[in-house]
Structure 1
Amino acid sequence: MKALVLERQHELKLRDIDLPLEVGPADVKIKMHTVGVCGSDVHYYTHGRIGPFIVKAPMVLGHEAAGTVVEVGAKVTNLKVGDRVCMEPGIPDLASKASKIGLYNVDPSLTFWATPPDHGCLTPYVVHPAAFTFKLPDNVSFSEAAMVEPFAVGVQAAVKAEIKPGDVGVVTGAGPIGIMVALAALLGGCSKVYITDLVPEKLAIAGRYANIVPVNVRETSLADVVLKDTEGWGADLVFEASGSPKAYEGITEVIRPGGKLVVIGMPVEPVALDMSLFAAKEIRIETVFRYANVFDRALNMIASGKVDLKPLVTGTYSFDDSIVAFERAEEAHPTDVKLQILF
C-alpha cells in the first residue's frame, strides 16, 4: 500500500510499504480522507528527531486524521461501516500504571502515529482501536475533524491550567498549537488571552479571534503590556507554546504571584530557569505532553460551534502531492497555519 515515507532526515518518498491491515475484534478499518501536516511531522523531516524521539528507520508520517469506517471488528458496537470518524493517534496499554491513574499519555509503552518507531497514517487505509476512534457529528467536516488532534493539545493545556472564570492568560508562540491553546483557554474561562510572536502575519491571524490580543515581542515588551493592563498584577496563566528557550526570558515578570506556567512547547535545547524567582512568587509549573481523556471534549467543542477552526486551514494538497505539502511546510510561509492532505 502506498504511503508517505520518511526514509531518513530530509528524504521523503511516496512508495509502497507493508503495513498491518488485519482488523482485530476491537478494531476498525478506516479509509482516510484528511490528514493534517503537523509541526512535529515537519521537524522529523527536517531534523530527524524531536528530543529523545529519533528516526532510525523509514517511518510513515501523519497523525492528525479523519476518514470513514469501512470494516469493523466482531466486538465493536460503537461504530459501523460508513461512519465518519476522527482518530486519537496514541494507543496506550490500558492495564499500565499510567493508564490506571488517568495519565495514559505518558505510558512508556504507548504507541503514537508518526513517532519513532511507530508508523503514521499518511496512507489510504489504517486499522485503529475502536476505543480511540470517534464518530463525527453531522455538522463537523473532515477538515475540522482532522483538527481535533491538535486542538486536543490546547484542551489538555486548559485542563492542566485549572482556569478560573475571568482569568487573564498569555500564550507565547502564535503557531497552530499556540492559537489553539489560546482558543481553548478562552473556552475554559479566560476573559482575555495575549498571544506573542515575532511574525506579524501569524499575529494577525490570531488577532481575528475575539478576546485574543496579539503582541509582537520584537517591537513591544510583553511585560509592559500585561502589567499595564492588569494594574501591575500580572497574568494568571502563561502558556509556553513556542518551544523557544528565549520565551522563558523575563517570564516571571509577566506571571502574577501565585500564577501558573503551563509548558507545552518542547524546547530544542535546555532551558535555564531561575527557580528562586519562581519560588519568591510561588509560581506553579505544569507540563503538557500531548493529551489524555480530552479528545472527545475537543471534538464536542468544535461541534458546538463555540470555536471555529476552519480559518486556520490555509492550504490543501492531494495525497499524490504530499511531498510538495511538506516542502511548503518546511519553507514556513508566515501566512500558513495548517496544511492538510486529502485522499
Structure 2
Amino acid sequence: MQALVMEEIRRLQLREIDVPTETGPGEVKIAMKAVGICGSDLHFYLHGHIGPFWVKEPMILGHEGAGQIVAVGEGVTNLKVGDRVAMEPGIPDWTSRASQLGLYNLDPAVRFWATPPVHGCLVPEIVHPANLTFKLPDGVSYQEGAFVEPLAVGMQAVNKAHILPGQTAVVLGAGTIGMMVALAALAAGVSRVIMTDVQKEKLAIAGGYAGIVPVNVSEVKAADRVRELTDGWGADVVFEASGSPHAFKGIFDLVCPGGCVVLVGMPPAEVALDVVGAQIKEARIETIFRYANVYPRTIDLLGSGKIDLKPLISRTFPFAESVAAFEFAAQGSPEVVKTQIVF
C-alpha cells in the first residue's frame, strides 16, 4: 500500500510499503480521511529522534487521524462499516500493571503511532483495535475529528489541574497544544485564559476566541500582565505548553498561593526549576504524558459545538502532496497553527 514514508532525516517519500491489511478479532479496518501534522512528526522529520526514540529504519508518519470504517473483525459489536471515527493512537498491553491501574498511557510497552519503530497512519487504510476507535458525531467533520488527538492532550492537562468554574488560567505557548489546552480549560469553566507567546500572528488567532486574553511577552512581562489582570493575586492554574526552556524562569511568579502548575510541553533538555518559588506558594505541580480515558469526552465536547476548531486549520493538502505538506509545515510560519492532509 502506498504511504508517506520517512526514509531518513529530511527525506520523505510516497511509496509502496507492506502494512497489515487483515482485520483480526476485535479490530477494524479504517479508510483514512484526514491526518494532522504534529510537532512530533516534524521533529522526527527534521532531527531523526525525540528523546530516546530514534528513527533507525523507514517509518510511516502521522498519528492525528480520522476516517471511515470499511471492515470489522470478529467480535466487534460497537462499530460497523460506514461509521465515521477517530482513533486513539497508543496501543498498550492491557494486562500490564499500568493499564490495570487505568494508566495505560504510561505502559512501557505501549505502541504509539509514528513513534519508532511503530508505523503511523499516513496511509490510505489502517487496521486498529476497535476499543481504541470512537464514532464521530454527525456534526463533526473528518478534519475536526483529526483534532481529537491533540485536544485529548488539552483534556488530560485540564483533568490534572482540577479546574473550578470561574478560575483564571495562564497558558504559556500559543501553538497547537497551547490552543487545545486553552479551549479545554474554557470548556471546563475557567472565566478566562491569559495566553502568552512571542508570535503576534498566533496570538491574533488566539485572541479571536472569547475568553482568551493574548499577551505578547516580547513586549510585556507575563508576570506583570497576570498581576494586573488578577489584582496582584496570580492565576489559579498555569499550563506550560510551549516546551521552551525559557518558560520555566519565573513560572511560579504567575501562579497564586495554593495554585497549580501543569507541565504539558516537553523541553528539549533539562531545565532549572525554582523549587523555593514553588514552596513559598505551596504550588501544586502536575505533569502529563499524552492522555488516558479522555477520548469519549473529547469527542462529546466537539459534538456539543462548544469548541470551534475550524479557525485552527491553517492549510490542507491532498495525500498525493504529503511531502509538500511536510515541507510547508516545517517552515514554521507564525500564522500557521495546524496543517492537515486529506485523502
Q: Where in structure 2 are the equivalents of 1:1-343 lying within 5 Å? A: 1-343=1-343
How many residues matched?
343
Q: Matches of 1:169 and 1:189 in 2, distance apart?
A: 10
Report the secondary structure of 1:329's partner residue: helix
The offset of 1:7, in angstroms, is 1.1
The offset of 1:54, in angstroms, is 1.6
What does the per-residue CA deviation read over 1:186-211, in whole Å, with 9 as the maximum and x for residues that have no partner?
Answer: 11121110111100000000110001
Q: Matches of 1:23 and 1:72 in 2, distance apart?
A: 7
Report the secondary structure of 2:71's partner residue: strand
**AA in 1 matched with 2:34:** T
What does the per-residue CA deviation read over 1:283-332, in whole Å, with 9 as the maximum and x for residues that have no partner?
Answer: 11111111000011111100000111111111110111000000001101
Q: Matches of 1:157 and 1:123 in 2, distance apart?
A: 30
2:253/2:277 contact within 8 Å kept: no
Q: Matches of 1:292 and 1:102 in 2, distance apart?
A: 8
The offset of 1:151, in angstroms, is 0.5
The offset of 1:258, in angstroms, is 1.0
**AA in 1 matched with 2:129:** P
The offset of 1:232, in angstroms, is 1.1
Q: Matches of 1:53 and 1:295 in 2, distance apart?
A: 25
Q: TM-score under structure 1 normalisation? A: 0.99
The offset of 1:117, in angstroms, is 1.1
Report the secondary structure of 2:327's partner residue: helix
**AA in 2 matched with 1:157:** A
Q: Matches of 1:308 and 1:316 in 2, distance apart?
A: 17
Q: Matches of 1:230 and 1:239 in 2, distance apart?
A: 16
Q: Matches of 2:195 and 2:56 in 1, distance apart?
A: 36
Q: Matches of 2:51 and 2:281 in 1, distance apart?
A: 30
2:171/2:182 contact within 8 Å kept: yes
What does the per-residue CA deviation read over 1:140-178, in whole Å, with 9 as the maximum and x for residues that have no partner?
Answer: 111111111111100111001100111110000000110
**AA in 1 matched with 2:270:** P
Q: Matches of 2:240 and 2:50 in 1, distance apart?
A: 17
What does the per-residue CA deviation read over 1:17-59, in whole Å, with 9 as the maximum and x for residues that have no partner?
Answer: 1111221110000111111111110111011111222211111
Q: Matches of 1:258 and 1:119 in 2, distance apart?
A: 43
The offset of 1:244, in angstroms, is 0.3
Q: Matches of 2:224 and 2:80 in 1, distance apart?
A: 55
Q: CA RMSD in A?
A: 0.8
Q: Matches of 1:107 and 1:128 in 2, distance apart?
A: 18
**AA in 1 matched with 2:255:** I
**AA in 1 matched with 2:293:** N
**AA in 2 matched with 1:155:** M
Report the secondary structure of 1:190's partner residue: coil
Report the secondary structure of 1:68's partner residue: strand
Q: Matches of 2:295 and 2:203 in 1, distance apart?
A: 27
Q: Matches of 1:71 and 1:322 in 2, distance apart?
A: 26
Give the ranges of 4+ consecutive aligned residues of structure 1 lying more than 4 Å apart after TM superposition: none
Report the secondary structure of 1:333's partner residue: coil
The offset of 1:15, in angstroms, is 0.8
**AA in 2 matched with 1:152:** A
